[in-house]
C-alpha cells in the first residue's frame, strides 16, 4: 500500500462506509500502473490481508474486455473469500441510466459505484482547488481548469473529422473526373491520400491528448506494431526529407502487441529524428527495419552519421543528458524511449555506435500470444489463445 496523502482519511472513510454497507467485506481502491497492473492505493481496512487488495487483472478487467488505461482507478471487493470480484470505475459523473429504465445492477454493485463516484468527485475538487480555481468549492460553481485540454482536444477533433469528410468527398470526385489525364489524376489522388493519412494521424494524436487530459496516461490495447512503424516512417520521411532520406525495410506481416500505439509511435519519432540530426548533410539514408526474432519484435533505426563517443554510451538514456549543442536538445528523447520500451512493453533497448561510422538503436519488444489466424503463432500459442478466448 502507498503512503497516506492529504485527504486520504476522507477517502478511507468512504471505503469504510461502503464496507459496512457490504456486510464488513473489505473495499479497496486500485490504480492501473504503467505495466497495466492494479496497484492497491487504499483500503477500508487499515491492515488489509493480501487477498483483500490483490485483484487479478486477467480474471476481472480483461475477462470482460474492459479497456485497461494507465492512471484509471477502480473500487472493488471480493464476493467471497475465493470467489469473483465486484468492481466499479472511479468517475466524476454518474453512469448512464439503464436501458428502458430497468435496473439490473445488484445492491452491492450500486454501493461500489456510489463509493467510486464520491472518491472521483472529491479528487476532482482537490485538483481544481490546487490549480487555483476560485469556483471549486463545496458550495460555489465548479469550473475545473484541468478540463481545458480535453475541451481543446474535443473541438480540434471535431474540426479534423469535418476536414477528413470533406477531403474524402474531394477524393471521390477527382476519381470520377474523365477530362483529366489519368496519370495526373492518379498523382493528385496519391497526394491527397497522403494528406488523409496526416489527418488520421493528427486525429490519433488529439485522442491521445484527450485521454491524457482525462487522467489516462496511456492506452492499453491490442494493435499492429508493424503498421505503426510503417505509418511513422511514411510521415517522418516527409518531415526530415530536407536533411536526409528515410528508408523502411521489412516484409513482416502484421504483428500485434499490447500497449499504447501512440507511445510506440512517439518513441520511434524520437529515434528517427535523432538519427536525422546525426546524419544530416550525408548522402546515406536513415534506415528503419522491423523483423521477428523468436518471440520478440525487433525495430531498428540505423544512421551513418557522426556516431556516439564511448564515454557517452552509458549516459545516453539519462534524463537531461545530451551531446547536442545548447538549445538544440533537451536530453529527454532517449529517456522517453527507454521508459516506454521497458515499462510499457517489457522490452529492452540496445545501442551500437562507432564515432564517424554511425549508430544503430534496436528495440526488442516481447510478442504476446497471437490469435489463431496469425501464421507466425506456434501450435502452443494458438492453443493457449483459443483457451483464453473461450
pLDDT (tens, 9 = 90+) of the chain, 390 residues, equals 544 444 677 888 899 898 888 888 889 998 877 666 778 888 888 888 777 777 766 666 666 656 667 778 889 888 776 667 888 888 887 777 776 667 777 888 888 889 988 888 887 654 433 334 433 333 333 334 445 565 666 667 667 777 777 788 888 888 888 787 888 888 888 888 888 888 877 777 776 665 554 444 456 778 899 999 998 888 888 888 888 899 998 888 889 998 888 889 888 988 998 899 888 878 889 999 999 998 999 999 999 988 888 888 877 777 666 665 544 555 567 888 888 888 888 899 999 989 889 999 999 999 988 875 544 444 333 333 332 232
CA 115 to chain centre: 27
> For residue 137, what are the CA distances in angstroms to 121, 123, 142, 144, 258?
11, 12, 7, 11, 40
Distance CA 273, CA 269 (A): 6
Q: What confidence score (pLDDT) does residue 289 get?
A: 95
**Residue 249 phi, psi (nearest 5):** -125, 135
Q: What confidence score (pLDDT) does residue 136 get?
A: 39
| Residue whose C-alpha is closest to residue 87's, from 49, 23, 20, 40 | 40
Q: What confidence score (pLDDT) does residue 155 get?
A: 64
Strands 38-43 and 28-32: antiparallel
Distance CA 371, CA 377 (A): 7
| Residue whose C-alpha is closest to residue 147's, from 206, 204, 208, 214 | 214
C-alpha cell at 40: 492497491
Q: What confidence score (pLDDT) does residue 229 get?
A: 93
Geometric angle at alpha carbon 254, from 219 and 186, rounded to 5°: 100
C-alpha cell at 103: 435496473
**Residue 375 phi, psi (nearest 5):** -65, -20
Q: What confidence score (pLDDT) does residue 59 get?
A: 65
**Residue 273 phi, psi (nearest 5):** -70, -35
**Residue 210 phi, psi (nearest 5):** -65, -45
Distance CA 304, CA 309 (A): 14
Q: What confidence score (pLDDT) does residue 377 get?
A: 44
**Residue 89 phi, psi (nearest 5):** -75, 145
Geometric angle at alpha carbon 255, from 254 and 261, rounded to 5°: 100
Helical H runs in 240-294?
261-279
Spell 285-311 as b/e; 16+ CB within 10 A means b.
Answer: bbbbbbbeeeeebbbbbbbbbbbbeee
Q: Sign of the C-alpha dihedral, residues 90, 96, 98, 101?
A: positive
308 neighbors 323 (Cβ within 8 angstroms): yes
Q: What confidence score (pLDDT) does residue 247 get?
A: 92
When computed from its CA atoms, the radius of gyration of the chain, rounded to whole angstroms, is: 25
Strands 85-89 and 28-32: unpaired
Amino acid at each position: 500500500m502507498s503512503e497516506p496523502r492529504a485527504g486520504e482519511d476522507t477517502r478511507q472513510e468512504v471505503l469504510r462506509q461502503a464496507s459496512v454497507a457490504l456486510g464488513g467485506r473489505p473495499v479497496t481502491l486500485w490504480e492501473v500502473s504503467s505495466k497495466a497492473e492494479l496497484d492497491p492505493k487504499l483500503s477500508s481496512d487499515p491492515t488489509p490481508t493480501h487477498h483483500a487488495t490483490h485483484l487479478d487483472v486477467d480474471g476481472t478487467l480483461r475477462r470482460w474486455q474492459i479497456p485497461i488505461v494507465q492512471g484509471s482507478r477502480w473500487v472493488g471487493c471480493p464476493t467471497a473469500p475465493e470467489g469473483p470480484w465486484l468492481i466499479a470505475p472511479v468517475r466524476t459523473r454518474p453512469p448512464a441510466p439503464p436501458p428502458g429504465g430497468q435496473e439490473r445492477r445488484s445492491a452491492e454493485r450500486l454501493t461500489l459505484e456510489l463509493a467510486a463516484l464520491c472518491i472521483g468527485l472529491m479528487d476532482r475538487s482537490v485538483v481544481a482547488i490546487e490549480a487555483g480555481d476560485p469556483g471549486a468549492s463545496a458550495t460555489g460553481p465548479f469550473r475545473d481548469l484541468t478540463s481545458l485540454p480535453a475541451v481543446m482536444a474535443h473541438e480540434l477533433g471535431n474540426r479534423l473529422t469535418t476536414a477528413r469528410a470533406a477531403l474524402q468527398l474531394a477524393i471521390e470526385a477527382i476519381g470520377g473526373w474523365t477530362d483529366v489525364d489519368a496519370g495526373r489524376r492518379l498523382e493528385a489522388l496519391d497526394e491527397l491520400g497522403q494528406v488523409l493519412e496526416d489527418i488520421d494521424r493528427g486525429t490519433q494524436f488529439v485522442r491521445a491528448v484527450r485521454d491524457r487530459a482525462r487522467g489516462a496516461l496511456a492506452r492499453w490495447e491490442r494493435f499492429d506494431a508493424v503498421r505503426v512503424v510503417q505509418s511513422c516512417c511514411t510521415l517522418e520521411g516527409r518531415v526530415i526529407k530536407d536533411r536526409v532520406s528515410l528508408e523502411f525495410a521489412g516484409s513482416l506481416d502484421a504483428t500485434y502487441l499490447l500497449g499504447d500505439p501512440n507511445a510506440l509511435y512517439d518513441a520511434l519519432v524520437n529515434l528517427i529524428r535523432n538519427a536525422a540530426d546525426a546524419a544530416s548533410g550525408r548522402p546515406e539514408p536513415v534506415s528503419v527495419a522491423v523483423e521477428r526474432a523468436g518471440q520478440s519484435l525487433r525495430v531498428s533505426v540505423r544512421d551513418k552519421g557522426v556516431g556516439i563517443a564511448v564515454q557517452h554510451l552509458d549516459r545516453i538514456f539519462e534524463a537531461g543528458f545530451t551531446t547536442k549543442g545548447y538549445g538544440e536538445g533537451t536530453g529527454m528523447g532517449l529517456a522517453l524511449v527507454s521508459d516506454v520500451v521497458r515499462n510499457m512493453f517489457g522490452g529492452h533497448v540496445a545501442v551500437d555506435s562507432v564515432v564517424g561510422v554511425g549508430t544503430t538503436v534496436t528495440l526488442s519488444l516481447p510478442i504476446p500470444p497471437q490469435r489463431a489466424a496469425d501464421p507466425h503463432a506456434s501450435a502452443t500459442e494458438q492453443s493457449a489463445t483459443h483457451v483464453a478466448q473461450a
